[in-house]
Amino acid sequence: MKARVTVMLKTGVLDPQGEAVRHALGSLGFQGVTGVRQGKVIELDLAETDRARAEADVKAMCDKLLANTVIESYRVELL
């Protein structure tokens, strides 16, 4: 089974990388971009075949390692 985890900074947390991308896009002539939030996508190959257990395992991975839950939120998709 495969899982995809999307990690983003929580709303209200300053995103300097996103702001740098927004500024660079404006410098390249893309004037309509008013905000950018940058995150990360992590894809996992899992041996687990039970969907509920796989989802619980991936959430535990996020809470312990993959996301800083103080400032980041995450979304888990089982593929």
Q: Spell out the residues 6+ positions from residue 72 whose beta carbon is closer than 8 angstroms to its own.
A: 7, 8, 9, 10, 13, 39
Number of domains present in the structure of the chain: 1
- pLDDT score recorded for residue 18: 97
Does this model's pTM top 0.85?
yes
- pLDDT score recorded for residue 66: 98
Structural domain span for residue 16: 2-78
Query: Residue 5, Cβ neighbours under 10 Å: how many?
Result: 19
Tell me, what CATH number does 11's domain have?
Answer: 3.30.1280.10
- pLDDT score recorded for residue 8: 98
- Give the pLDDT mean for 6-23: 96
Handedness of CA 33, 34, 39, 45 (dihedral sign): negative
